[in-house]
Structure 1
Amino acid sequence: MSVIKRKIDVPDTIDLYTTATLKTMGNIQEISLSSNRNNGKTIVPLSKEEFVVVSTGEVKKVQHHALDRTENLRNLEKSMRSLSDLINSNITFDNAEQCRFITFTYKENMRDSKKLYNDFKNFNKRFKRFLSKKGYKYEYIITVEAQERGAFHLHGIFIFNRKAPYIDNKIVADIWGLGFVSIKSIDKNIDNIGKYLTAYLTDFPIDNDLEVSPEIVGGEIKEISVMGNSKKIIKGARLKMLPVGIRMFRHSRGIKKPTVCRLPYGEAIELVSKQGFTKVGEYALEISDIERDFKSNYVKQIYKKHINTYESIC
């Protein structure tokens, strides 16, 4: 792999005219900028079977192969970042009371991802009919979670058109019809709900009386506090349990996407400040591509809003 990333110190000053990317996701905004943009093409496709290497002019055959576990894990990690951005774009402290986090389980050890999403499709039709009689509509984001034994669970974030209705677990379980259901509210005091929920879906809890297989140990072991109790987890370990090529999440049509725009760094700073966002973190990386003789310094700044108003700025 020719691309190398190295953490460096954040520069003391940044040219206000440098072009930056501003990404808005509900209560969170990110400003990122790069000293160089890697726009050159390394290959140009000629057909489904051939491509040309730009630097040498050499024509090569396309190698069709399945994803290996390492590439699959990178793709899953990218999917989880996208999922986190999507969640933050749709759930804020202003609408947390309209949201519910629902877990769908199976009675049996279900390992078929196509069946999983098809089962949800059928559930969604029945659930919509049930709630429409009460005057409710909703948008959803659903994602798959794998357990160590290989069984799939389904998690859904439901965003209602007003304060979420109280629905007994048993009623939703009957509509689901395939196993148990757990319904939870979302704490509006969590200011990065996307990171919180994706961590829930990817980190593996270490139970004192549970023997953890060697395949998932290798991630970072951390001790965290949950409701005042100490708990150990393996960071990102659940991703290793997912099969190659699985589609991690889906969502309804009305779900909002992150807003992304490019503008001078000084204008981006001015806009986030006017909207009441404050900087809560930043980091810098040196990115180099040996094969292409390319080097760039990358800076990202994270801003959060802590008041109960929000509007898009792009």
Structure 2
Amino acid sequence: MRPFWNREGPRRSRLVALLLLVLLAGPHTASAAETPRIATVDWTIAETLLALGVTPVGVAQTDAYREWVGAPPLPDEVVDIGLRAQPNRELLAQLDPDRILLSPMFSTLAPSLERIAPTSTVALYTPGSKLWTQLKHATREIAAFANREARAEELLTSLETHIAELKQNLDARDVAQKPLLVVQFINSRHVRVFGEHSLYNAVMKRLGLDNAWRGTTNYWGFSTVGLKALAQYENARLVIVKPMPVGVEQDLETSVLWQHVPAVRSNDVLTLPPVWSFGGAPSAMRFAEHLSQALIDATTTPPSREAPDA
């Protein structure tokens, strides 16, 4: 029997798979002549370009993108341009991009990258802005650079429609019985817990789900806490978003702190595949789908209250 924190919904949504196929391979793809060559160090921009039907010529840390973001998948021909904070400028110059896109986190790179190609910054997380509104604005801004304005409207409309359908399905099944604590592991003793200002929280609100975390959050919508901080949430269901750092699962098997978390004691833990926590519209759609399916699966097949096999 797999450890309880590895339980994932056994069914993939064919609807989302079909939706992504439509978005990525639909009839509205611009010709190659109309598609600028874009490179980016930012994964949110990369996933948005791919969802808009544009393959970036270069993306930073492609292996890590595949681990942390997952989808839309990076085609093999996308060149790894090095570290996000220190891209390989010589390689970037060889790729001859028409434009380089950055997020504010990497905006200090702009002066040097401007020598290679016109460089622009697209923001998703900005102080004082509403994340969902900014998500739409960022999607449209990226689409304008890529000549995909019409595709951006299709993507945003599909996002809103699909989340509304998922909410209706959850409401009909009455699965929103407990508030959720959504976390990602940093190591075997610390997690990021997501609350106000996070992408996960914004999606949960639209699904009609209650976020148990009421504590403060940072610029990106999370707080870093020890496992002990989770022990006070007696009636919350724990949701873990992968990937798990190497060795953490094994350490949790014998962790006293972990065993004292109420959701762990009651075996009420759900695990989701990787979804980029700082992502845009594609990540929002994936998180909504994976979370909804996990909740439905848990309701359909309640977890055993017996201790899991080691």
TM range (shorter): under 0.3
Relative contact order (alpha carbons < 8 A, sep ≥ 6): 1 or 2 greater? 1
Structure richer in strand, relative to its length: 1
Greater radius of gyration (CA)? 1
TM-score normalized by structure 2? 0.24
Per residue, is there more helix in 1 or in 2?
2
Normalised by the length of structure 1, the TM-score is 0.24
